[in-house]
Amino acid sequence: MAEQVRIHEVGPRDGLQNEKAVIPVADKVALIDLLSASGLRDIEVGSFVSPKWVPQMADTDRVLAAMTPVEGVRYAVLVPNMRGWEGFVAARVPGVMYEVAVFISASEGFSQSNLNCSIAESVERLTPVVRAAEDAGVPVRGYVSCVTDCPFAGPVAPAAVARATEMLLAVAPMQVSLGDTIGKGTSETVARMLEAVLDVAPATGLAGHFHDTGGQALANVETALEMGLRDFDSAVGGLGGCPYAPGAPGNVATEAVLERVHALGFETGVDGDVIAKAATLARGMR
């Protein structure tokens, strides 16, 4: 049997959070519902963050209420603090499988820009979220941003990424998704970063989250595959960016990752035809 790669679709969150135009809830829901029919098992659908910081995600409660969840699909939402947890608890629909994603940065500059606090403070704020999720039986995923480069501080030391990963894992066991937030990573910098992180976490506990600014994202996926990672984040239609990371364009496109990993002999269980339709829909939202 071929080896499996698991794709975590982040377009409805990481993609749409950065769009200038207001995207109606109905359009977001149409995209999510189509993605739910593709065989994807992980779809990130929104954020419970400050609406002043990311107005595009302010309607996540309405998205959760209106989408049609599919059994076997886990729907992720970003939650930075207890205020966000309370928003999620008020909005969640009984019986749906959710995942809460917490996020920190490997660089202090980006932490201040994205979360208005230091890395250590961000861990303090997310710790009660993780505890609440554990108590509620909701799985947690962690992100580390700026794993190769920071928009403010330049190159990020691999040791800083390993340290940030350890900080998340000290809170609770979780999959840690390693974000090349501004898409400046190359095969070399990604490999050096992964060598350091693999000293503190097994490849099975890690995911690659590559933005495609430099056109290197697919090469970085391959580097990470060679180093044992089997989980990758991507955004249908190459939607994406982070409003607090100048120069962060789209995530690597889901359809491109699918094509590459399938060509390399991996299985994903994801239907490329449905993803192609979703990519057309996503591109129409820009």
Known catalytic residues? Answer: 242
Least CB distance to ligand HMG at residue 268 (A)? 21
284: which residues sit within 8 A by CB, 6+ positions away?
Answer: none
φ and ψ at residue 140, rounded to 5 degrees:
-120, 140
114 touches ligand HMG by CB under 6 A: yes
CB of 156 to ligand HMG, least distance (A): 11
Residue whose CB is less far from Mg ion, 14 or 231: 14
Binding to Mg ion by residue 255, rule CB under 5 A?
A: no
Which of Mg ion, ligand HMG, none does 151 bind, CB closer than 5 to 8 A by kind? Answer: none
Residue 263: alpha-carbon gap to chain centroid? 24
Q: Is the Cβ of residue 48 or residue 232 nearer to ligand HMG in the bound state?
A: 48
102 touches 81 (CB < 8 A): no
Asked if 241 and 248 count as a contact pair (C-beta separation under 8 A), the reply is: yes
| # residues contacting Mg ion (CB under 5 A) | 1
Residue 224 CB, nearest approach to ligand HMG (Å): 15
Helix (H, G, I), strand (E, B) or coil at 29: helix
- Please report, as a single letter, which amino acid is at residue 254: T
Give me the 5-44 binding string for Mg ion, x by CB under 5 A, dash otherwise.
Answer: ---------x------------------------------
Helical spans, DSSP H, in 137-271: 158-171, 187-197, 217-226, 254-263
The contact pattern for ligand HMG, residues 156-195, with x = CB under 6 A and - = no contact, is -----------------------x-x--------------
Least distance to Mg ion from the beta carbon of 131, Å?
Answer: 25
For residue 121, give the H/E element and its range: helix 119-136
| Other beta carbons less than 10 A from residue 105's beta carbon | 29
Q: Residue 100 and residue 129: Cα distance in Å, rounded?
A: 9
Give the interface with ligand HMG as residue ranges (CB under 6 A).
14, 17, 47-51, 53-54, 78, 80-81, 83-84, 87, 103, 114-116, 143, 145, 179, 181, 209, 242, 244
Give the interface with Mg ion as residue ranges (CB under 5 A).
14
